[in-house]
Amino acid sequence: MSSGAKVVTAIAKQTDIKKLATTGFKILPNKSNGLNNSIELTESELVSDSRLKREGMPTGGTVEGDIETELMFGVFDELIAAAFWSEWKQGQAGQPDTLEVGDTRSMFTITKDFTDIGVFHAFGACHVNSLSLDVGTDSLVSLSLGFKGLDYQHSKTTSFAKTPKKAEDSPKASGLNIGDILIDGQNIGVCVEAFKFEIDNGAEVQKCLGDNKYGGNVLAMFATISGSMTIAYSPKAHDILTNQITGATLAVQIPIEFENGKKYILKLPKVQISGDIPSPSGSDLVTAEVSFNVVGQSPVLERYTA
């Protein structure tokens, strides 16, 4: 039997798409690691001298899953950049580092070790296909990363993550750490109860004859970038919602501030919104769910280290 508290996840940058990383591992703090390999078994349709079917063969498989965690400053920056298919651009003196959507591939070897029973899993050439950042009034800022990979190996003798570095101790954030949310450069002017930001790279696994079960390449397609806000219904909220009538774009900015003065600012230069007129009961606080899609210009994530 195994305890969930003894499942250890580690990660390392992978440079060769066909070979697992062997060095550079570090422990990845997480709430859950849903990475899995799934095998497709193709049944035989041969007819012989019996009504019993003949055995099938494994003909394909997938490596994918989500890792859910709590946002900590700096700890997941490499994975966030991979979700943008980009790299951080270092800011000049006094200026923040910045991240925009690009076309730079990053791959990782991710291990999932059941340390109390000695069963060790490794998932290779993992690309970040999706990212979800979610914050509510009474919760920590949560981060979910969805992966697609091209390799899977397992062992009952030793971990694939050799001497991983310990997890960094870095501040987390909650709904109390959200600064002034801006719409078109002005304070949104209404109570915001929840905010969600999502990236879906639409990644597809390409399989060729002679590849391994899991495929030979991962290609990013259209990036679908979206999100939502739950806001108190008011004349200002009504004004925000009416932009959907004309398709006008808005600029949205949300800062996430940490105890040590460090912060991220997520800037969405152009979004189109949608949402319904609220239909509350007599005992409800009236809120509106405002959904948005990023169009035309890349989101910019700014990182302030001091």
Q: Would you say residue 56 lies in a domain?
A: no
pLDDT of residue 187: 96
* Residue 42 pLDDT greater than 90, yes or no: no
Distance (Å, rounded) from C-alpha 255 to C-alpha 12?
Answer: 29
pLDDT at position 169 is: 84
51 in any annotated domain: no
Distances (CA, A) of 178 to 76, 103, 187, 266, 278: 19, 30, 13, 11, 25
**186-237 pLDDT, tens per residue?**
999 999 999 999 999 999 999 999 888 999 999 999 999 999 999 999 999 9
Mean pLDDT of all residues belonging to the chain: 94
Q: Is residue 291 part of a domain?
A: yes
Residue 285 lies in a domain: yes
290-302 average pLDDT score:
97
Determine how many CB atoms are found less than 10 A away from the CB of residue 167: 16
Total count of domains within the chain: 1
Contacts of 98 (CB under 8 A, 6+ apart): 88, 89, 91, 300, 301, 302, 303
Q: How confident is the model at residue 120 (pLDDT cuts 50, 70, 90)?
A: very high
- Say which residue the tokens 């597809």 belong to: 204
Q: Report, as an integer, the average pLDDT of 138-165.
A: 96
Q: Kindly state whether residue 116 falls inside one of the protein's structural domains.
A: yes
> How many helices and strands (H and E) does the chain possess?
3, 20
The predicted structure's pLDDT at residue 265: 98
Coil, helix or strand at residue 83: helix
Q: Which residue has the tokens 């004309």?
A: 246
Asked if residue 52 has pLDDT above 80, the reply is: no
Number of CB atoms found within 10 A of residue 247's CB: 10
Give dist(CA 111, CA 109) in Å, integer: 7
- Structure confidence at residue 181 (pLDDT): 96
pLDDT for the residue 250: 97
* Pairing state between β 217-219 and 107-114: unpaired
What is the predicted pLDDT for the residue at 259?
84
* Domain presence at residue 50: no
Answer yes or no: is 54 within a domain. no
Q: What range defines the domain where residue 219 resides?
A: 4-42+61-304
Average pLDDT over residues 249-277: 95
Q: Tell which residue, 119, 126, 110, has the closest CA to residue 25.
A: 110
Structure tokens at 234: 């008011």
Encode pLDDT of 228-259 as tens digits: 999 999 999 999 999 999 999 999 999 999 98
What is the pLDDT averaged over residues 103-128?
96
Is 49 domain-assigned? no
What tokens were used for 216?
């030979």
User: CA 25 from chain center: how many Å?
Assistant: 20
* φ, ψ of residue 106 in degrees (nearest 5): -130, 135
What confidence tier does 63 reach under pLDDT thresholds 50, 70, 90?
very high
In the predicted structure, residue 56 carries a pLDDT above the cut 90 = no
Q: Are 72 and 168 in contact (CB under 8 A)?
A: yes
Of the pLDDT bands very low, low, confident and very high (cuts 50, 70, 90), residue 43 is: confident
pLDDT at residue 286 in the model: 93
Judged against a pLDDT cut of 80, whether residue 71 lies above it is answered with yes
Give the largest CA-CA distance in the chain. Answer: 79
